[in-house]
Chains A and B, each alone.
Chain A
């Protein structure tokens, strides 16, 4: 018989999501039921399945959290850059990765930049720079380099001058 004090898997997922975290399947202290499973979001990572409450956490943010949990920083950075270029479109400030929720170390950021240059599969990712010295990244698959250059300068300098 189930312990009355056991918190249901659904409640655990809700609580974690409300606090901004996803839950790995191994982190649940109660078995998740099929009914509960239909009420939550799940993402299959390289190290298993992660759950989140779609009422308090957007799938995109959950994806960020899964990549962070799995320390899959390179893929996360690439996914973020491509999503920004494709969806909005906009360039991605390199500084973004040093801020929460990413909170990459400087060393990690440097490894990512080198990997974009050296590793296969990231040929679409390019750098661009603004007049204030800031570096941005974009995917040339989705964003024209000239447009990226403008958007980078606008984000770093132009917007503040045109309030």
Chain B
């Protein structure tokens, strides 16, 4: 079927070795929806197994999907796919960024950009609709992301969007980001751009995304979605007791309340009480600065920001004049780990003379965010700072770093709690200065270099999830085996929020269990927090659904920090959301009829292709033993408690093995090895994948 709406007609291919720019028809990739799906398809077809992330033969795919730029709610995300250098076997992986880059790419007429080869000199890519050129980037090379984005924007105009790397990416630091807008970073693939001498991509589009639905129907679809949307992470109850709310929860990001202000707005803006019916106030619901920056966050908040097409404003934009004391711009924007990751580098605490501790916290979080973003360093979901702390406190850094270098590091600032340490630390990481900078290679590689021993992996407080070298990210603390198994399936931290958003909605466990019974046929899919029961079929279905929807969102593209809208804030709906909404938007935008199940199946195809790519790259079918194996602390924590007793998130080894088997079965993978079978690959229209794996002897027996 020819493309009607949603997708732009073409994909841009840029060969930096030859300086060649070409276009390709999107039809070839449509079975993979877009975004993440496009990325995996390109990597499977075009990047040979054994290729390393920084090899010229590696490719990097910036993918958007049929819903990107359509105006569907929370559809402003860019999915970036490539091999990941921090991963031991350079497995395929994704990084994502919000902002407005994705929609601009669609307006320029592209569903994605495939970057291949390597330029001889630093360049940036200029895209203005069909006018695409490779430009000299010598002016920006060696500079941070802010200067680069500002510079490219000055050339292209204020209505352009720019994605850029900092010095970390240029120097092929494994933990580096690609950044866009004031506050949006994709962690992990900055070095791939650097390896290709590609400093930035600027894009400006004058086109539109066509929607195959009558205006009033489209209006009503969006109106309905606005009625069931919650706050950030689809939290559907307020954080504090409020007149309208039957439920509330102190973990909710629906923080709006009386007397809570964006205090530095002119005039200050009160978030106030925002009821579910006040859909024109959805943007006030999440006053994230009070979470991102602590108790005094609101005092410095100018506004909340976010991404294209998203009514949820989850990025804190603050003005912190004290940052001038550190030579930094006082205007900083970020969210969540963008603040917490850098801040936790100050593991000895923060102490700034003359500042109240709550102001000092704001200063340090804002400064850390700014410095890390400028250099373009990725925190590996907080692992970079944990690695610094772990190796420092055990004397490892003193052992492995030459004395002259060690003595030059500003440990004095760290010990004093002076956030001036950020500049010294991040510069060394980004510029690959000395032995300390190995921390920027990621957990697996620093262990290889420094021989950290088994304790490094099995220390619960170090949070490393598997020996692939990534940390906990909504794992066993999120419904036990459910989060644990989801976290074991990817080649980096699982950026899956489907399950986490459901569990963190703020609604009572029993109500969640009612919904679980409706969705997965088993209320036992959900346990009370920290009171887990053994593995069940319902949990396996919940896991699969969570992964499949995550992959679907990263392909459409929708924000998985909000979608799916399985729950809602509406008591009259008994707090039910609508899990068919993705399908409704897909059909509305593309004009192609596809059921909820068919769309999930397409996402299952994409995730199974990810698994096949991992099998091929690792050269083994034995995913259970070689890939999905935990570091061990998950089973040995809380020695005074048994798994499946109240008060612990401890897992049980046999139960985890059973869980792997059940998840493999749900995915149609081989229950012993966890590798995709020919039967499943063919069912998912991936016969060509099965054929290639067979020639490599990588199909399970």
Chain A interface (Cβ < 8 Å from any Cβ of B): 17, 20, 56-61, 64, 87-90, 93, 96, 99-102, 144-151, 154-155, 158-163
B244 contacts A160, C-beta separation under 8 Å: no
When the two chains form the complex, which single residue of B243, B249, B645 contacts A20, counting CB atoms closer than 8 Å? Answer: B243
Rounded to whole angstroms, the CA-CA distance of A61 and B237 in the bound complex is 13
A144 contacts B647, C-beta separation under 8 Å: yes
B249 contacts A88, C-beta separation under 8 Å: yes
Chain A residues contacting B245 (CB-CB under 8 Å) are 58, 61
B647 contacts A150, C-beta separation under 8 Å: yes
Chain A nearest CB: distance from B390 CB in Å? 15
Chain B residues contacting A102 (CB-CB under 8 Å) are 241
* List of 6 A-B pairs having minimum Cβ-Cβ separation, nearest first: A146-B647, A144-B646, A147-B646, A150-B530, A163-B336, A58-B246
When the two chains form the complex, which single residue of B340, B474, B645 contacts A160, counting CB atoms closer than 8 Å? Answer: B340
B250-294 contacts to A (CB < 8 Å):
250-251, 257-259, 273, 291
**Candidate in B247, B250, B477 with the most chain A CB atoms within 10 angstroms:** B250
Using known A-B contacts A100-B257, A147-B528, A162-B472, determine if residue A17 contacts B646 with beta carbons closer than 8 Å.
no
Rounded to whole angstroms, the CA-CA distance of A160 and B341 in the bound complex is 11
Least CB separation from B339: chain A residue: A163
Answer whether residue B93 sits at the interface, using C-beta atoms and an 8 A cutoff. Answer: no
Chain A residues contacting B509 (CB-CB under 8 Å) are 88-89
Rounded to whole angstroms, the CA-CA distance of A1 and B645 in the bound complex is 69
Least CB separation from A147: chain B residue: B646
A99 contacts B528, C-beta separation under 8 Å: no
Least CB separation from A53: chain B residue: B243
Chain B residues contacting A64 (CB-CB under 8 Å) are 241
When the two chains form the complex, which single residue of B241, B291, B340 contacts A161, counting CB atoms closer than 8 Å? Answer: B340
Chain A nearest CB: distance from B400 CB in Å? 27
B640-697 contacts to A (CB < 8 Å):
641, 645-649
Name the prevailing secondary structure of the A interface residues. Answer: helix
Range, interface on chain B = 35 or more
A-B contact pairs, 7 of them (CB 8 A): A20-B243, A57-B244, A58-B243, A61-B243, A61-B244, A88-B249, A144-B647
Using known A-B contacts A146-B647, A151-B529, determine if residue A163 contacts B340 with beta carbons closer than 8 Å.
yes
Chain A residues contacting B336 (CB-CB under 8 Å) are 163
Chain A nearest CB: distance from B413 CB in Å? 23
**Candidate in B259, B340, B529 with the most chain A CB atoms within 10 angstroms:** B529
B530 contacts A147, C-beta separation under 8 Å: yes
Chain A residues contacting B250 (CB-CB under 8 Å) are 90, 93, 96, 155
B246 contacts A60, C-beta separation under 8 Å: yes
Rounded to whole angstroms, the CA-CA distance of A104 and B409 in the bound complex is 49
Rounded to whole angstroms, the CA-CA distance of A58 and B247 in the bound complex is 9
Chain B nearest CB: distance from A83 CB in Å? 10
Chain A nearest CB: distance from B257 CB in Å? 7
Answer whether residue B352 sits at the interface, using C-beta atoms and an 8 A cutoff. Answer: no
Beyond A146-B646, A150-B647, A162-B477, list 4 extra A-B contacts (CB 8 Å).
A20-B242, A101-B241, A147-B531, A160-B340
Rounded to whole angstroms, the CA-CA distance of A87 and B243 in the bound complex is 18
**Candidate in B251, B273, B337 with the most chain A CB atoms within 10 angstroms:** B251
Rounded to whole angstroms, the CA-CA distance of A141 and B171 in the bound complex is 58
Rounded to whole angstroms, the CA-CA distance of A93 and B571 in the bound complex is 25
Rounded to whole angstroms, the CA-CA distance of A17 and B241 in the bound complex is 14
Chain A residues contacting B251 (CB-CB under 8 Å) are 155, 159
B162-182 contacts to A (CB < 8 Å):
none
Least CB separation from A87: chain B residue: B508
Answer whether residue B536 sits at the interface, using C-beta atoms and an 8 A cutoff. Answer: no
Chain A residues contacting B244 (CB-CB under 8 Å) are 56-58, 61
Rounded to whole angstroms, the CA-CA distance of A160 and B292 in the bound complex is 9
